[in-house]
Amino acid sequence: MKTSDLGAAAVLSWTALDSQLSRIIFAGLAVLVLLVYAGIALPAAWSTKPTRRKAAAEVLRQILGTIRRR
């Protein structure tokens, strides 16, 4: 193989790896958002116990505050 062929192969393999890595990261973030939604947002909105609603709403407020600061 020529050096230019090796370089082209390296670039193509890096592009494929980068694409796959970005998909994995995106899927992980999507799962994290769903877990936060199901674990915090839903109890904050639909719980019949006021204490649970207040606690879930406070945790959600803290998470969103942390995200906004960054």
pLDDT in tens, 20-57: 778 888 899 999 989 888 888 787 778 788 888 888 88
Give the phi and the psi of residue 14 in degrees, each rounded to 5: -65, -40
- Kindly tell me if the per-residue pLDDT of 70 is higher than 80: no
What is the average pLDDT across 59-70? Answer: 84
pTM given for the model: 0.53
User: Is residue 2 predicted with pLDDT exceeding 50?
Assistant: no
Which of 20, 23, 29, 33 lies closest to 64, judged by CA? 33
56 burial (CB, 10 Å; 0-12 / 13-18 / 19+) is buried
- What does the radius of gyration of the chain's CA atoms come to, in whole angstroms? 22
Domain locations along the chain: 3-69
**Higher per-residue pLDDT: 15 or 45:** 45
